[in-house]
Amino acid sequence: MVFEKLWLKKNRPEQSPKQDATYHFVKDLDTMPIFPTIQDNKQYLKQLFADCSDAVVREFSIGEKVSALLVFIDGMVNTELVNQAMRAMMQSPMDAYSHEHLADTMLPVCQLQPADRYGAFIQSVLGGDTGLIVDGQTNAMLLGIRGGNQRSISEPETETVVRGPREGFTENLRTNTSLLRRKIRTPKLKMKPLTAGRESNTNIVLCYMDDIVDPSLVDEVEQRVKKIDIDAVLESGYVEELIQDSTISPFPQIQYTERPDSVAAALLQGRIAILVDGTPMILLVPFVFWEFLQANEDYYERFHIATLIRWLRFIFLVLSLTTPAFYVAIISFHQDLLPTSLMLSIAAAREAIPFPAIVEALIMEVTFEALREAGIRLPKAVGSAVSILGALVVGQAAVQAGIVSAPVVIVVSITGIASFTIPRYNGAIAVRMLRFPIMIAASIFGIFGILGSLLLIVGHLANLRSFGTPYLSPVGPLSVQDLKDIFVRAPWPYLGDRPAYMSVQDTKRMGEEFSDELIKHEGQKGIRIKHEHSQPKEENS
């Protein structure tokens, strides 16, 4: 008994648990070791979780003589498995235990992790793990028996497709990583864990293909995420804004998506996915401008319709950006560009309008944006009806009241429809914002103001970088071989190489013999079925 007291006194921390319970952030507890006695640990945990009604500190006995503690957050663990583990330990007939013995013989848990400091221990418990502390042991064990209510996998609402998978990411990090594993079943798919947020301690995972991605890109992304010093990271938008190359640019340099197939395709191109716990939106880096106009469904349909749709998107991108500005410029300065009959019709429609063209265009644009925002924020049952009917009713009423003319309503409607054809929502937002300064420039300088604004935008895009990749790649700088997947969507046999503008370890994504055969014979002809019409005459004779 005397030797036991001396041993406990020697191994007890110099400061009492009550004095050491003061901390600022959870990571500050990394200097505090696990105490060797149950009572000290229990007292310390009670102080840490004071006024935390969801924190459970349960003391029990392993067998008849060894005391232990279970620590978990109610609602974040699988209670049934916790009870099974506790029952197995309580019914043991032995008198002495080590963590290795408990893990090998009693605990019905696959994931076990040791922790000898309170920082990692508390952080894991708050993340959903169950902590186990055994009397006389100077380290604890973390049991991976997480549970609680989670949203089930459903179809993404922001990226609907006619043909393609119907599953989308959820707010659970492990569910999201499993969805990626189902798409890419190879150990080369790496998932590197990180944390960010001094108070939130949000789990972040970097996903990449180890045999494809440029290692320097992985190091750069990892260092940028590690530099984040903020109180909490509540959504991937925090990470996006804190690691991008240019904060003041209206163009996003990081793509986000909630589709596992889009992330898998990006990983196979040599890009990196950033998964943030608590959000279904996954970040992809690097990101270039032309991907604004590309959708994952382009690669599920035949290349003919995919190419036509891409041309349509390019046309409507220009219309969405410049249509109101051209209307203002022509009405204010360049009336001679219109046919005489059309000009007389527009003049008759604007005869009773008290405002200049720029004012009525701004009125309708702001009203349209407000109705679109209202349609998003209102419940789904009435949101679409409000946005569509509201635009019709308000536009018709404004025309009848003589506030705006009928032509400007048509112009704004075409502009709104054109903006909906851009697949990436963050890209459409950038276009919507830039539309207003271009309109103002057109009202002052006419078409020359529009051309000057477009030159400034192109110059800005040429200056942007996304994790070292030029934003206008592969057009600027020019990469001819990559143009087959920019303005057109070439057939799959011609897409056997990964993008050349990205530095990757493996440039081939398709076997050369296979792609050459498809190109030579315009498809697979096979050897079991004869295709007489496709064989050379010499072979048929």
- Is the residue at 154 inside a domain? no
Does 378 fall in a domain?
Answer: yes
Say what angle helices 406-420 and 357-377 make with each other, to 10 degrees.
40
- Of 475, 244, 444, nearest to 333 (Cα)? 444
DSSP state at residue 218: H
CB 140 within 8 A of CB 114: yes
Residue 447: inside a domain? yes
Lowest mean pLDDT, pick from 62-66, 165-169, 464-468: 62-66
CB-CB contact of 398 with 404 (8 Å):
yes
Give the model confidence (pLDDT) of 357-400 as tens digits.
999 899 888 888 888 887 777 776 666 656 666 666 777 778 87
Q: Are residues 340 and 447 in the same domain?
A: yes
Query: Model pTM?
Result: 0.86
Taking the CA atoms of 280, 286, 289 and 294 in sequence, report the sign of the dihedral they define.
Answer: negative
Please check whether residue 541 lies inside any domain of the structure.
Answer: no
Q: Do 409 and 449 fall into the same domain?
A: yes
| 469-507 tens-digit pLDDT | 999 999 988 888 889 999 999 999 898 889 988 889 988
pLDDT at 262: 93
- Establish if 159 belongs to a structural domain: no
The CA–CA distances, whole Å, from 409 to 170, 199, 347, 367, 402 equal 40, 50, 15, 11, 12
Q: Name the residue range of residue 246's domain.
A: 173-287
Residues 451 and 484 in one domain: no
Give the H/E segment covering residue 326. helix 303-332
Looking at the domain assignment, is residue 293 inside a domain? no
Question: Residue 179: enclosing H or E segment and its boundaries?
Answer: helix 173-183
Cα separation, 156 vs 229, in Å, equals 31
Tell me the C-alpha distance between 36 and 17, whole Å: 12
> Does residue 359 share a domain with residue 391?
yes
Of 227, 219, 61, which is closest to residue 134 (Cα–Cα)?
61
CA-CA distance, 464 to 495, in Å (whole number)? Answer: 27
- Does residue 52 fall inside a structural domain? yes
* Of 237, 253, 287, the domain-final residue: 287
Q: Are 375 and 237 within one domain?
A: no
Same-domain pairing of 484 and 521? yes
Does 443 lie in the same domain as 309?
A: yes
Indicate whether 381 and 450 sit together in one domain.
Answer: yes
The reply to whether 433 and 530 lie within a common domain is no
Domain count across the chain: 4
User: Tokens 């036991």 identify what position?
Assistant: 4
* 493 part of a folded domain: yes
